[in-house]
Amino acid sequence: MAMLRAVKTPFSLDFLFNLPARSVLVADSDKFTHSLAEPWARLVHLVQQKGGYSHILAAANSFGKNILPRAAALLDVSPITDVIDISGSSQFVRPIYAGNALCTVRYTGTSPCMLTIRSTSFPVPAISADTKSNEARISQVDLSTFGEDSVGKSRYVQHTSQDTERPDLGSARIVVTGGRGLKSAENFKMIEKLAEKLGAAVGATRAAVDAGFVPNDLQVGQTGKIVAPELYMAFGVSGAIQHIAGMRDSRVIVAVNKDSDAPIFQVADYGLVGDLFEVIPELLEKLPEKK
């Protein structure tokens, strides 16, 4: 289920993440079955015109990045992307220069203030036991004025995904990533076997994706997915700036590379200078099977 959040009043960080939604708007139409930017952006525009919200937020994932800029253009406002901290109703912090610096931005435009939020930068709020008092009012969006011209020129063709029981890359507790050092798609299967033993998600660098080792939905980095797992293991990853930008917030980073000068060691908590073709088989042999 895709979701955007809109609020009508100035908010603090506590308001945004600790208070439940007061109302839920449901847009029931086949036009929204697939996350095409044109109909979804038109929907945001329609809801904003009727609701007059002060802020519209979406996660900084493929869904949010696809829809929010187009919706912002329709509303004639400038969106603020990849927010990692909220200082007030109009002041936000976002990374720049591939995460090497942080920029504080103050929004001075007209309503709504539109944001994409990097969800890995915020703690998961505790769920209140008093669910009755937190029930939200659910109402249908009037789509009578939502014509066929809102659909746009793009169309849904097909959806492909890997048939796997591994955790989702964006929310996994453990991520095992392989880089160009694995040399081939066949060798990359070692990463998949190790991830299976650890109950981890599989990630890849842009170089590994470009080489055809794995599909691009496994790419971690500035132009891929932003992850912040409890444990991030990198094998054959040199540590390009754009890759580090996507995983530097991981709690513990373990790197294995035969090049002792690889930049990945500068951000790693634990580093091993060694041949991954020797290290991974040894790990596979010594790690117990996942229960």
pLDDT digits (tens, 9 = 90+) for 168-189: 888 899 999 999 999 999 999 9
Is 241 labelled as part of a ligand binding site?
A: yes
Is 243 labelled as part of a ligand binding site?
A: yes
Is 48 labelled as part of a ligand binding site?
A: no
| Amino acid type, 38 | E
Is 110 labelled as part of a ligand binding site?
A: no
Number of structural domains in the chain: 2
Is 70 labelled as part of a ligand binding site?
A: no
**CA distance linking residue 98 with residue 100, whole number of Å:** 6
Residues 246 and 125 in one domain: no
Residues 137 and 194 in one domain: no
Residue 207 scores a pLDDT above 80: yes
Q: In terms of residue numbers, what domain contains 204?
A: 174-286
Residues 103 and 225 in one domain: no
pTM of the model: 0.74
Is 140 labelled as part of a ligand binding site?
A: no
DSSP string, 211-250: TTSS-GGGBBSTTSB----SEEEEES----HHHHTTTTT-
Does 15 fall in a domain? Answer: yes
Is 260 labelled as part of a ligand binding site?
A: no
**CA distance linking residue 118 with residue 82, whole number of Å:** 5
Is 44 labelled as part of a ligand binding site?
A: no
Does 242 fall in a domain? Answer: yes
Is 219 labelled as part of a ligand binding site?
A: yes
Is 266 labelled as part of a ligand binding site?
A: no
- Per the CB < 8 A criterion, the answer to whether 222 and 242 are in contact is yes
Q: How do residues 56-82 score in pLDDT, each as one tens digit?
A: 999 888 888 889 999 999 999 999 999
Q: How do residues 258-285 score in pLDDT, each as one tens digit?
A: 999 999 999 999 999 999 999 999 999 9
Q: How do residues 79-125 score in pLDDT, each as one tens digit?
A: 999 998 998 889 999 988 877 789 999 999 998 999 999 887 887 77
Residues 15 and 93 in one domain: yes
Residue 1 scores a pLDDT above 60: no
- What is the rounded radius of gyration, in angstroms, for the C-alpha atoms of the chain? 21
